[in-house]
Amino acid sequence: MIAELRRSAFDTDLLLSDQSCQDLTTRLSSGNINESMTTSTFNPRRVEALQRDYERLGFQDLREPIKDFELIPPGILSLQSLFYFCIHQKNDFIRFVLENSCKTFQQQCPLVKSTIEITRILCRLFNIGIEPNRHQIHKDYFLLFYTITSFFEQAFARCLLLFNKTWKEMRACDVDFEVVSSVVYQQISQSLDDICLMNPSVNKTIIASYSPSKNQTIASPTTTKSTMNTSLTSVALQRFTFDYFSERLNANNYKDICRRRDEQELKREESIMRLPIVETLKERLRSHVQSLTRQARLKTMKKGQIFFTIESRSGAKKTKNRAMYWQLLDNEKHVQCSESPTTVMKENNTRDGSTTSLTRTTIPLENIKDVQCYIDQSRSGNLNNQERLPKIPRHSNANMSVTIVLQNDTTYTLLCENDYDMSCWSDGFNILFHKEMDSFYAREEMELLLNLLCQLQILELDNPSIILSQHSLPVPIRLPPTRPVSST
């Protein structure tokens, strides 16, 4: 049997006819499967060529490949299933072998190892090799064995191709075999659960698929009930086909499995964060997190930022619109604004980058009457007929602004490029005026930082402290020769 696998994979000029397939099937049923390779029959070159082919097929023991199937379970069942795949889907078998033969040894999907793993997965899902228990509740997908001929062999061939496909999608190496195996197991089990009629979503789909016509005449309740039962039975039996099983395997791809795993991990973290002990820990850490967020906002203001600023004074008809550099001073009592060096150089037509000629304006926080945030909803697509002051000029690309109103009714409108800059500066002014930070980004950052600190605290409780042992440096084998000290 192993020799036929090698011959089918690499002797491409040998095509199996119907008679040869029958002979191989007869040989399989007769139990003649121990075809070990002996060095006394072949010459050394022939032995080397056979060992090379067996290595490309994925065998570990190159002298007696049959020993790779000694592990029970699944034992020799995996070899029989692989032989069925070789006979009935010869083109897919050859493509599987040749695709992996062109890759490096680390990137190859091992055929024999994946065959044993797929057989073990199917035996685990279908309870093969386990003594039957009358009290055990079996799932509905066991009906596939009664509705499909040679279902186990066909499922093995389809799942083996799925293993190779998932291997390529994950760009796996030989060290990732266990990870790929876990993903394939989840794909197969989820596909079988989709077939199961105990699934509530499946029951809704089956019942919704039965919709009697409106023109149907009113019959007796017994006739209507029998008609509905017949229709539901026909719809349900459509699920117990190999085409539907293969369709579910295609639907539960690697991308979908990753999405489900991420959702499960997110739900698990959310459930942990809602525990009473974690809520108590959050309340203890909340003040520290708020302090860190305030420091980050003030640090952003002290770093400074360039805004297109509209300056309007009471009694003046004209307003100035130019790029200005806004910054919070280190004493946290004054806000300084100065013209951008780029604007000054353009107006003076000079290339000198000195900032000695820049006009600076220092605004004490005591002179600020109010700070307002404004979003131009008409520019962003949401029309509103309410009056908006101050009006953002049309040549500006900014839709958000922060307006600083002074005691003498002078206003500075800072045009922000995005809502994050607007929230940072509005939160910064609220901190300076001893108010709460009410922006969305402030609440989001505080909640994120709070969850991270709680997770770190949980990890410190779960895992013991890691103490690195201090090893002394080893003495070198060869020491440099000692030079005698010359006496002067």
Contact 415, 310 (CB under 8 A): yes
123-151 as b/e: b if 16+ CB within 10 A: bbebeeeeeeeeeeeebbbebbeeebeeb
83-108 as b/e: b if 16+ CB within 10 A: bbbbbebeebbeebbeebeeeeeeeb
Q: Does domain 286-380+390-443 have CATH number 2.30.29.30?
A: yes
Upstream peptide bond of 390 is cis (omega within 30 degrees of 0): yes
Q: Which of 369, 375, 366 is closest to 410 using CA atoms? A: 369
What is the torsional sign of CA 25, 31, 33, 38?
A: negative
Our measurement of the distance from residue 201's CA atom to the centroid of its chain's CA atoms, rounded to an integer in Å, reads: 25
Alpha helices in 102-241 (DSSP H): 111-125, 144-147, 151-170, 177-195, 200-209, 221-237
Predicted pLDDT at 322: 81
Q: Which residues pair with 323 in a beta bridge?
A: 308
User: pTM (2 decimals)?
Assistant: 0.59
Which class for 44: exposed (0-12), middle (13-18), buried (19 or more C-beta within 10 A)?
Answer: exposed
Please tell me what DSSP assigns to residue 444: H
Predicted pLDDT at 475: 62
| pLDDT tens, residue order, the chain (488 aa) | 777 777 777 775 444 444 444 554 454 444 444 444 444 455 777 778 777 888 888 787 778 888 888 877 788 898 899 889 988 888 898 889 888 888 888 888 888 889 999 999 999 988 887 777 766 666 767 778 888 888 899 999 999 999 999 999 999 888 899 999 999 999 999 988 888 765 555 444 444 444 444 444 444 444 444 544 454 456 556 777 888 888 999 999 899 999 998 999 889 888 888 888 888 888 999 999 999 999 999 999 999 999 888 888 876 655 667 888 999 999 889 999 888 765 544 444 544 444 445 678 888 998 888 888 877 655 444 434 343 334 444 444 457 888 898 988 888 888 888 888 889 999 999 999 998 888 889 999 999 999 899 888 888 776 555 455 566 666 666 666 666 656 54
Question: Rounded to an integer, what distance in angstroms lies between the CA atom of residue 133 and that of residue 429?
Answer: 72
- Contacting residues for 25 by C-beta, under 8 A, at least 6 apart: 87
Question: Rounded to an integer, what distance in angstroms lies between the CA atom of residue 347 and that of residue 264?
Answer: 60
Instruction: Please give the helix or strand (H or E) that residue 46 lies within, else none.
Output: helix 44-57
What is the torsional sign of CA 437, 439, 445, 448?
A: positive
Distances from the Cα of 113 to the Cα of 57, 92, 174, 188, angstroms: 10, 17, 11, 18
Structure tokens that stand for 220 in this block: 């007796």
Our measurement of the distance from residue 282's CA atom to the centroid of its chain's CA atoms, rounded to an integer in Å, reads: 28
Question: Rounded to an integer, what distance in angstroms lies between the CA atom of residue 410 and that of residue 405?
Answer: 6
Predicted pLDDT at 56: 80
Question: In the chain, where are the structural domains located?
Answer: 2-130+139-196+241-266, 286-380+390-443
Q: Following DSSP, what letter does each residue of 343-388 receive, concatenated?
A: HHHHHHT------TT--EEEEEGGGEEEEEEEE-HHHHT----S--
Contact 422, 402 (CB under 8 A): yes
* Distance, first Cα to last Cα, the chain: 88
